C-alpha cells in the first residue's frame, strides 16, 4: 500500500508536519505548488494526507484549487491536517466538503497548534486599519508547541495507520457557521481588504478576494535585490522589476516573502518593520525552495 502526504506551507510549519507524518508512516511527501500546474492530479496511493495552514478561519485558496483537480478519490483513505495559530475553527469541515465534491470522503481531520506567523491588530483606535503588527511568540511558548507536536504526531499516525474514520477536530462550530453565513463575504471581506490597502472594488467572494491583499506588501530601503522573495513564493506571485519585488495579485497570504526575507525588507501595511520574523526552526530556506518548485 502506498501513501502520499501533500502539503502547502509558507513558513515551514505545515512542511514539518507533512514531513514528520510521511516519515512515520513510510510515505512520500509532495508540495502542492509542485503539482498544482497539472490539469488533473491523480495518484495510485491508497492513503492521501493533505496538510495545510488555516488562513482567515478557512482553507487556503490553493488547497481548493488542488482538490478541484484531484481525480479518482472514491476508494482512497483521505485525511487532513490543518496547522493554526489561534483556533482551527471549522476549516476541516470546509476540507471535508471539498473532498466530498470530488467524490471522496474525508476519513479524519486533525488540528495542530503551531507558532502564529501572521498579522493581528494592535488595538490602536487611531488609524485602526493600519495598526496591524506581527505577533511575537516567546521562545518558550514556541518550544512548548513544537514539543506538543511530537506527541500529536504519534496520535495522528496511530489513527491513520489503523485506517480509522470519524475524527474531525474543530472548534466554535456554531459561531464559525454564523460568521460564515452572515459576515464572511461582507464585513470580514471589507475589513481585510481595507487593512491591505486595496482601494478598488471586487465581486470576488472572500476566499478569492484574499488574492488582492498583496496590495499591502512593499519593500523598504533595506532590500538588497536578492530575489529570494520571488523564488520562495509558492504561487509565483512576485516578479522582480528593476531588481525590486512587484506583487501580481494572485496571493495566498502565506507571508513567505515577508518572513523569509534575509534583510527583513518586506513589510505589510505600516507597522511590521519592527516585528520579529518567524519560520519553523527545523526548516531551512533551501527546504522551502526545493519543495516549492513547480
Contact 103, 67 (CB under 8 A): no
Please state the domain extents for the chain.
Answer: 3-117+136-174, 184-291
Tens digit of pLDDT for each residue in 137-168?
899 999 999 999 999 999 999 999 999 999 99
What pLDDT is recorded for position 294?
Answer: 39
Taking the CA atoms of the chain, what radius of gyration do you get in angstroms?
19
What pLDDT is recorded for position 246?
Answer: 98
What pLDDT is recorded for position 41?
Answer: 96
CATH fold for domain 3-117+136-174: Rossmann fold (3.40.50)
> What's the chain's average pLDDT?
94
What pLDDT is recorded for position 291?
Answer: 56
What pLDDT is recorded for position 136?
Answer: 86
Tens digit of pLDDT for each residue in 51-62?
999 999 899 999
Tens digit of pLDDT for each residue in 24-58?
999 999 999 999 999 999 999 999 999 999 999 89
What is the per-residue burial (b if ≥16 Cβ within 10 Å, else e) of 32-56?
A: bbeebeeeebebebebbbbbbbbbb
Contact 245, 214 (CB under 8 A): no
pLDDT band at 125 (very low <50, low <70, confident <90, very high): low
Contact 21, 51 (CB under 8 A): yes
How far apart (Å, rounded) are the C-alpha atoms in residues 63 and 79?
Answer: 14
Enter the CATH code of domain 184-291: 3.30.70.20
Q: What is the mean pLDDT of residues 9-21?
A: 97
What pLDDT is recorded for position 177?
Answer: 84
Contact 18, 9 (CB under 8 A): yes
Say what the alpha-carbon torsion angle 52, 120, 169, 210 is, to the nearest 10 degrees: -50
What pLDDT is recorded for position 263?
Answer: 97
pLDDT band at 257 (very low <50, low <70, confident <90, very high): very high
Is pLDDT at 128 greater than 80 in this prediction? no
Tens digit of pLDDT for each residue in 173-224?
888 888 888 889 999 999 999 999 999 999 999 999 999 999 999 999 999 9
Q: What is the mean pLDDT of residues 65-87?
A: 96
How far apart (Å, rounded) are the C-alpha atoms in residues 262 and 248?
Answer: 21
Amino acid at each position: 500500500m502506498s501513501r502520499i502526504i501533500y502539503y502547502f506551507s509558507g513558513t515551514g510549519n505545515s512542511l514539518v508536519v507533512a514531513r514528520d507524518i510521511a516519515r512515520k508512516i513510510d510515505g512520500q511527501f509532495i508540495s502542492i505548488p509542485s503539482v498544482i500546474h497539472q490539469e488533473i492530479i491523480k495518484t495510485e496511493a491508497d492513503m492521501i494526507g493533505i496538510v495545510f495552514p488555516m488562513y482567515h478561519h478557512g482553507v487556503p485558496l490553493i488547497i481548493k484549487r488542488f482538490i478541484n483537480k484531484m481525480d479518482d478519490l472514491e476508494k482512497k483513505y483521505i485525511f487532513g491536517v490543518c496547522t493554526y495559530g489561534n483556533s482551527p475553527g471549522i476549516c476541516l469541515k470546509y476540507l471535508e466538503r471539498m473532498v466530498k465534491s470530488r467524490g471522496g470522503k474525508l476519513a479524519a481531520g486533525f488540528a495542530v497548534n503551531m507558532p502564529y506567523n501572521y498579522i493581528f491588530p494592535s488595538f490602536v483606535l487611531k488609524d485602526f486599519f493600519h495598526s496591524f503588527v506581527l505577533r511575537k511568540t516567546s521562545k518558550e511558548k514556541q518550544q512548548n508547541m513544537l514539543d506538543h507536536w511530537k506527541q500529536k504526531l504519534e496520535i495522528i499516525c496511530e489513527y491513520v495507520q489503523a485506517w480509522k474514520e470519524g475524527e474531525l477536530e474543530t472548534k466554535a462550530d456554531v459561531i464559525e457557521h454564523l460568521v460564515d453565513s452572515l459576515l464572511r463575504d461582507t464585513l470580514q471581506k471589507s475589513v481585510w481588504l481595507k487593512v491591505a490597502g486595496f482601494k478598488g472594488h471586487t465581486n470576488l467572494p472572500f476566499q478569492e478576494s484574499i488574492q488582492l491583499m498583496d496590495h499591502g506588501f512593499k519593500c523598504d530601503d533595506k532590500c538588497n535585490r536578492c530575489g529570494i522573495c520571488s523564488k520562495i513564493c509558492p504561487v509565483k506571485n512576485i516578479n522582480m522589476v528593476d531588481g525590486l519585488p512587484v506583487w501580481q495579485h494572485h496571493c495566498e497570504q502565506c507571508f513567505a516573502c515577508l518572513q523569509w526575507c534575509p534583510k527583513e525588507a518586506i513589510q505589510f501595511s505600516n507597522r511590521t518593520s519592527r516585528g520579529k520574523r518567524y519560520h519553523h526552526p527545523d526548516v531551512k530556506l533551501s527546504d522551502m525552495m526545493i519543495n516549492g518548485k513547480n
